[in-house]
Amino acid sequence: MLPRCSALRTNQQGWFIERTLLIRFATLALFTVFVSSCGRTNLVEEATEGKVLLLANGAEPRSCDPHLVQSVGDSNIMRALFEGLVTFHISEDDTAAPGVAERWEPNEDFSVWTFYLREDAKWSNGEPITAHDFAYSYERVLTPELASPYASMLFPLQGAEEFNKGETDDFSTVGVKVIDDRTLELSLIGPMDYFPEVLKHTTWLPVPKETIEKFGKMTDRYTDWQRPGNHVGNGPFVLKSWRINHSLTVEPNSHYWDRETVKLNEIRFIPIPNEYTEERAFRDSRLHYTYTMPNNMIAWYRENQPHLLRTEPYAGSYFYRFNVNEPPMNDPKVRKALTLAIDREAIVKNVTQGGQEPSFGFTPPFKGVYEPPKMVEFNPGKARELLAEAGYPNGEGFPGFQILINTQEAHRTVAETIQAMWKEHLGIDNVTINNQEWKVFQQTLHDLNYEVARSGWIGDYVHPMTFLTMWQTDDTNNETGWSNAEYDRLIREAFEAADPAVRQEKMFAAEKILLDELPIAPIYWYTRVYLLHPDVKNWNPKVLDNRPFKHVDLIDSGPAYQ
């Protein structure tokens, strides 16, 4: 019809031209894509050269306020941005390295500690840090209005619990005394030879009064002081940028007293909640370190790239809670039978595969500090006997119950394995598995609305007490309904004991009661399994995964995969 089309009269010719045009466009598009993507860089190589550490860090950080953070990933960032009176040793778990305090001394029964602050300790804005800053910070954590979730970490301080519960609003009743700008005295409610360990926790970190109050009240939780540009800390690094779900970067703090030691130019904390994505990012040279590792890839790495795989003990316990208020779990014999029928060795070897230790107690063994009583074992014969004694020979007549888990594939496989073991060894065949989304799961647990529930506990500091206090009557983390007066007494006495050997004895005796009554079925002790690029140096195993970043270095050591 139109003149310019006249040459294309025949159908076939028309299609032909149309098609070549299409092909040309497609080729052009592909070529553009190809050329533009040729600039694909090897991030890790570049980063090592520029001394930029690329760390995967689990979920997105929820806060940059050390008094409000809760997760392990968040406390990693706090460790770069802040420094407490004492700080983490480069390799030892139970040794405190000097932080803002250059030295400290306890009185003879470890109940009053005096800290001598170094003269050159400064905030990242150049202002000096004094004992007053620490007093202010402790007051902030303990002030009820801030609602610091971990305020109880400060309860070893005299009068702290009363102040935090609002029984008094006079902070001078709390055992914090500023003797002068550089001397701080902390009075505790009892002797605590391991107090420096407790002090390493994020809640004990100092915060800058001036900055906090510039952006709001002392107790406001959601103010802008946590943002890059506003943030002030006192750690080896300062906050450089923060893009949600992308990365949070820190750079060296030029006012840090020990800046000579700091070797990195930047740390990039990258939130990757999906462990498979994380592994791909590592394989794609986008990370120096993965936060965790998919269970089903561990065997491959162990076989083919063992130099990248790290498996380290971790101060955490994986266990099942029993709701002791509900029959039949109110019968200790039933709980014991269920516990004895779990083959932990098989779970660790075939299911979790991450080199975890089958637990023989609840508290993980702390090298040189504490070894739990060996009371948990796999003994199907004895388990059957106990179940028969409880009135259910061969599992006959045993009421059906549910194993409650939070939705996650790894928990389901463990639960299914245990379900099969209970069936095989005890003849209990009416166990079902119920999974709930995390928050619902926590609520159900808290309401004691379950029969058996999967649980985990990671220590807050390197000492058995962080595993044993939670089983006291009415502790908010007990959540089993279990209560034992003798246990409560022993824990109290352990807490009050000035002599570490006596404390050891009391803790051991208390854990024996716990493992005899078994409101819980211990399963395994955690390990940290992750991938680490060979370029990363001074990266030592730590049972709480709390490496001091100031020592970490990057030196080119060739490609990761061989």
State the minimum distance, in angstroms, from the CB of residue 59 to another protein: 8
Residue 77: CB atoms within 10 A of its CB come to 27
Check: CB of residue 467 under 8 Å from CB of residue 363. Answer: yes
Restricted to residues 149-178, the positions that interact with another protein (CB under 8 A) are: 149-152, 164-166
Nearest CB to another protein, comparing residues 246 and 259: 246
Q: Per the structure block, which two tokens stand in for 470?
A: 């939670």
545 contributes a contact to another protein by CB under 8 A:
no
Binding mask 200-229 for another protein (x = CB under 8 A): --------------------xxxxxxxx--
- The minimum distance between CB 383 and another protein, in angstroms, equals 29
297 belongs to the binding site for another protein (CB under 8 A)? no
Interaction between residue 4 and another protein (CB under 8 A): no
Closer residue to another protein (CB): 413 or 436: 436
Q: 130 or 285, CB closer to another protein?
A: 285
Chosen residue from 18, 180, 499, 556 binding another protein by CB under 8 A: 18
Q: Which two tokens stand for residue 518?
A: 């078994």
Q: What distance in Å separates the CA atoms of residue 222 and residue 225, rounded to the nearest whole number?
A: 9
**Least distance to another protein, CB of residue 546, Å:** 17
Q: Closer to another protein by CB, 279 or 517: give it.
A: 279
Binding of another protein by 129 (CB under 8 A): no
Q: Rounded to the nearest whole angstrom, what is the least distance from the CB of residue 114 to another protein in the complex? A: 30
Q: Which residue has the tokens 């090592």?
A: 48
Contact between residue 70 and residue 149 where contact means Cβ atoms under 8 Å apart: yes
Q: Annotate each residue in 250-289 with x if it binds another protein (CB under 8 A) or - if it does not, as one string.
A: --------------------x-xxx-xx--xx-xx-x---
* Helix H or strand E segment including 435: strand 431-436
CA-nearest of 424, 244, 462, 273 to 346 is 424
Site string for another protein, 65-104 (x = CB under 8 A): x--x-x----------------------------------
CA distance 561 to 211: 46
Of the candidates 3, 36, 260, 374, which one interacts with another protein according to CB under 8 A?
36
| Nearer to another protein among residue 182 and residue 286 (C-beta) | 286
Number of residues that bind another protein (CB under 8 A): 73
Q: Rounded to the nearest whole angstrom, what is the least distance from the CB of residue 320 to another protein in the complex?
A: 15
Nearer to another protein, 41 or 254 (CB): 41
Tell the smallest beta-carbon distance from residue 55 to another protein (Å).
14
The residue assigned the tokens 């102040």 is 163
| One of 44, 60, 196, 524 touching another protein (CB under 8 A) | 60
d(CA 192, CA 503) in angstroms, rounded, equals: 10
* Rounded Cα–Cα distance for residues 57 and 272 (Å): 7
3-class SS of residue 250: strand
Q: Smallest distance, Å, CB 93 to another protein?
A: 21
Contacting another protein (CB under 8 A), which of 24, 28, 50, 62? 62
Angle at which helix 380-389 crosses helix 409-426, to 10 degrees, equals: 70
| Choices 40-48, 313-321, 331-339, 540-548 (CB under 8 A): range interacting with another protein | 40-48
Q: Is 51 helix (H, G, I), strand (E, B) or coil?
A: coil
Tell me how far, at minimum, the Cβ of 248 lies from another protein, in Å.
Answer: 11
What is the DSSP code string of 466-484?
HHHGGGSTT-TTT-S----
H helices present in 249-294, as ranges: 275-283
| Contacts to another protein from residues 323-382, by CB under 8 A | none
Q: How far is the CB of 237 from another protein (least distance, A)?
A: 18
Q: Which distant-in-sequence residues (6+ apart) come within 8 Å of 338 by Cβ? A: 322, 383, 422, 426, 452, 521
Residue 144 near another protein by CB under 8 A: yes
We find the least distance from the C-beta atom of residue 233 to another protein, in angstroms, to be: 14
* Sites for another protein among residues 404-463 (CB under 8 A): 437-440, 442-444, 446, 456
Q: What are phi and psi of 113, to 5 degrees?
A: -120, 135
Q: Which is nearer to another protein, 16 or 350 (CB)?
A: 16
Please report whether residue 240 would count as binding another protein according to CB under 8 A.
Answer: no
| Residue 24 sits in the site that holds another protein (CB under 8 A) | no
Cβ neighbourhood burial of 21 (10 Å; 0-12, 13-18, 19+)? exposed
Q: How far apart are the first and last CA of the chain?
A: 66
Residues 456-495 that bind another protein (CB under 8 A): 456, 476-477, 479
- Check residue 48 for interaction with another protein (CB under 8 A): no
Q: What is the helix (H) or strand (E) element at residue 452, kind and residue range? A: strand 452-458
Q: Cβ(394)–Cβ(427) under 8 Å?
A: yes
Helix (H, G, I), strand (E, B) or coil at 560: coil
**Is residue 250 a contact partner of residue 55, using CB atoms and an 8 Å limit?**
no
Interhelix angle 332-340/500-517, nearest 10 degrees: 100
Judged by CB under 8 A, the chain residues 505 through 544 that form the site for another protein are none
Nearest 5°: CA angle at 81, between 528 and 273? 40
To another protein, the closest distance from the beta carbon of 369 in angstroms equals 22
Q: Which of 41, 107, 350, 394 binds another protein (CB under 8 A)?
A: 41
Tokens representing 132 are 């007053």
In degrees and rounded to multiples of 5, residue 139 shows phi and psi of -65, -40
Q: Which is nearer to another protein, 261 or 408 (CB)?
A: 408
